[in-house]
Amino acid sequence: MEYEAANIHDLTRGAQRILEVASKLFYEYGIHAVGVDTIAAESGVTKRTLYNNFGSKDALITRYLKNRHLVWWQNLEERLDIAEPPRALAFFDIYAEDARTITRGCAFHNAAAELPTDHPAYAVIRYHKRAVEERFVELIAEEQPATKDPKRLGRHLFLLLEGAFTHHGIHDRGLLAEAREIARELLI
């Protein structure tokens, strides 16, 4: 990893609740819009505890995105393990499933919109997106060996997915389902 890994289990119970609450609020309302007082209050701890555990808001933001990546990635691999070929479509299914419970598009893109590019969390964003893209390309290369340019097809599908999921935050016009359908045709 380009950044220090961060396991939830290193955290005390209170700290875990802080991270949960912060994740929900940061995603729902945006990072700048949510203050540490709010996060502490919603977590049922004092602001002092928040600072004792995370050090600063910026560090909490970074932890939020690291954790989001880890959880999401684990879910991805589990789903891929049980998916039937073409497994690239499982990617679309995961996003579609996410979209049923969360409604503001991609947490990483949203964070990128708010943070300065030299923020510690920005490295996590870059890492995550790159990892997803590469996993996609890898998958295509494995399962569609007959494709003349697996890398291009992988990126092609990746872009479809990114476009559709990002849009989900703005206006759902069935783009995720349509992207999946387009992908399905491309994989035949």
Residues that bind its own copies (CB under 8 A): 29-30, 32-33, 104-105, 108-116, 125-126, 129-130, 133, 152, 155-156, 158-164, 166-167, 169-171, 173, 175, 178-179, 181-182
Out of DNA, its own copies, none, which partner does residue 167 contact, by CB within 5 to 8 A per kind? its own copies
Give Cα separations from 94 to 5, 34, 85, 87, 146 (angstroms): 23, 28, 15, 11, 26
Q: Is 56 within 8 Å of 21 (Cβ atoms)?
A: no
Residues that bind DNA (CB under 7 A): 12-15, 34-38, 44-49, 51-53, 55-58
Nearest CB to its own copies, comparing residues 116 and 145: 116
The two most distant CA atoms of the chain are separated, in Å, by 58
Q: CA–CA separation, 63 vs 30, rounded Å?
A: 15
Give Cα separations from 2 to 56, 63, 68, 124 (angstroms): 21, 14, 16, 8
Out of its own copies, DNA, none, which partner does residue 85 contact, by CB within 5 to 8 A per kind? none
Out of DNA, its own copies, none, which partner does residue 58 contact, by CB within 5 to 8 A per kind? DNA
Out of its own copies, DNA, none, which partner does residue 35 contact, by CB within 5 to 8 A per kind? DNA
Least distance CB 105 / its own copies (angstroms): 7
The closest of 4, 32, 53, 1 to 20, measured between CA atoms, is 53
Q: Is 175 within 8 Å of 164 (Cβ atoms)?
A: yes
Least distance CB 27 / DNA (angstroms): 15
